[in-house]
């Protein structure tokens, strides 16, 4: 991936830019067999997130509301749920809390990551304080997604991206 510093250095210094380090040894992490549910009331956001996550060999399902996410989670086990914050009817925080109740009733644990455009200062801390396992801002930055997935899936999957 390209990181901001080398790009800015090239933009500022042009062809005379020196000491630019690119990550030649980068290996894209894969998350095969990870079942993910993406919850968002905006259809285009569901399309974009699903396409990106499938690029990591994840099995992706979608829900367009908090209510639908609860129904889908009741019927299907997911390894991770990506939850939008601002949705009509039931917001993402309320949906996350209800999903945790359903998981407890099922005797399961569930990993829920806030996936939201609400990236104001302190938003990450607020979502984590509310009980989310992680936070990714929209538009989705792949390096942020990869870092968050590696953190929240730690111990649940082997280092090579398969189930442990």
Q: What is the dihedral of CA 118, 77, 158, 162, to 10 degrees?
A: -110
pTM: 0.80
The pair of structure tokens assigned to 126 is 């607020």
Q: Which residues, at least 6 apart from 114, have a Cβ–Cβ distance to it below 8 Å?
A: 83, 85, 92, 96, 127, 132, 134, 135, 136
The position carrying tokens 């380090």 is 21
Provide the pLDDT confidence category of residue 20 given band limits of 50, 70 and 90: low
Helix (H, G, I), strand (E, B) or coil at 135: strand
Across 40-65, average pLDDT? 96
Provide the pLDDT confidence category of residue 11 given band limits of 50, 70 and 90: low
Say if CB 46 and CB 62 are below 8 A apart.
Answer: yes
Provide the pLDDT confidence category of residue 147 given band limits of 50, 70 and 90: very high
Residue 65, pLDDT score: 97
Say if CB 95 and CB 70 are below 8 A apart.
Answer: yes
Residue 82, pLDDT score: 98
6 pLDDT exceeds 90? Answer: no
């Amino acid at each position: 991936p390209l990181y901001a510093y080398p790009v800015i250095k090239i933009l500022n210094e042009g062809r005379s830019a020196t000491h630019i380090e690119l990550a030649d040894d980068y290996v894209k992490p894969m998350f095969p067999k990870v079942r993910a549910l993406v919850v968002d009331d905006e259809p285009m956001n569901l399309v974009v997130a699903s396409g990106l996550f499938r690029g990591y060999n994840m099995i992706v399902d979608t829900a367009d509301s908090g209510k639908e996410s609860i129904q889908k989670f009741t019927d299907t086990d997911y390894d991770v749920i990506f939850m939008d914050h601002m949705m009509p009817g039931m917001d993402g925080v309320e949906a996350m809390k209800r999903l945790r109740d359903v998981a407890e009733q099922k005797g399961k644990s569930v990993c829920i990551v806030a996936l939201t455009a609400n990236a104001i200062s302190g938003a990450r801390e607020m979502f984590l304080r509310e009980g989310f396992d992680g936070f990714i801002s929209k538009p989705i930055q792949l390096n942020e997604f990869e870092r968050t997935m590696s953190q929240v899936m730690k111990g649940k999957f082997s280092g090579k991206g398969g189930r442990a």
